[in-house]
């Protein structure tokens, strides 16, 4: 679960990223940048699925699944006016999701579940945090996975990565519409 400490850390980091030029609010949107992010997330997801289906590489299933989430996260951030630089871009993306996208995602999920009352609000709050946390988990897992796992563990984690990527992308696509 995405805890309050992590949210506060992200909020604090974003100020520094903006000051250091690692993240910026752009003035003029360029369609080709957004289209590149969209193309990259879809291609990454497709390739990860093919690699998994053909049982070619658990390592690359995890890595490419993560990158599909990374690209769609950057597409959503770009759509709302933010561009991530090249230095520590994965951490900046993760923190920017928490600060700039979390509440938008919550609103999107609320619209999907408009009929529900008190019970749904609790579920939506948890689901919002879970979706944002998926990115953090996959970013950390990719690093550990690449350097410190057995093949049996890798196969199971690869399956989880593709499912997380699909769930993450499903929700993030709503913000691109």
**Structure confidence at residue 13 (pLDDT):** 96
Quick one: average pLDDT of 65-85? 94
Question: What is the helix (H) or strand (E) element at residue 104, kind and residue range?
Answer: helix 102-112
How many H-runs (helices) and E-runs (strands) does the chain carry? 7, 2
Model pLDDT, residue 152: 76
Q: What is the pLDDT of residue 137?
A: 82
């Amino acid at each position: 679960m995405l805890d309050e400490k992590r949210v506060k850390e992200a909020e604090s980091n974003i100020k520094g990223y903006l000051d250091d030029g690692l993240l910026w609010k752009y003035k003029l949107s360029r369609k080709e940048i957004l289209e590149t992010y969209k193309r990259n997330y879809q291609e990454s997801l497709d390739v990860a699925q093919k690699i998994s289906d053909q049982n070619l590489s658990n390592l690359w299933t995890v890595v490419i699944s993560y990158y599909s989430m990374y690209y769609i996260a950057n597409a959503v951030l770009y759509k709302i006016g933010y561009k991530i630089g090249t230095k520590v871009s994965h951490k900046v993306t993760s923190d920017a999701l928490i600060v700039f996208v979390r509440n938008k995602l919550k609103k999107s999920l609320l619209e999907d579940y408009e009929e529900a009352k008190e019970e749904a609000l609790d579920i939506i709050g948890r689901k919002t945090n879970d979706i944002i946390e998926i990115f953090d988990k996959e970013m950390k897992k990719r690093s550990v996975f690449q350097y410190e796992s057995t093949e049996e563990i890798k196969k199971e984690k690869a399956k989880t990565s593709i499912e997380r990527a699909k769930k993450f992308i499903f929700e993030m696509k709503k913000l691109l519409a």
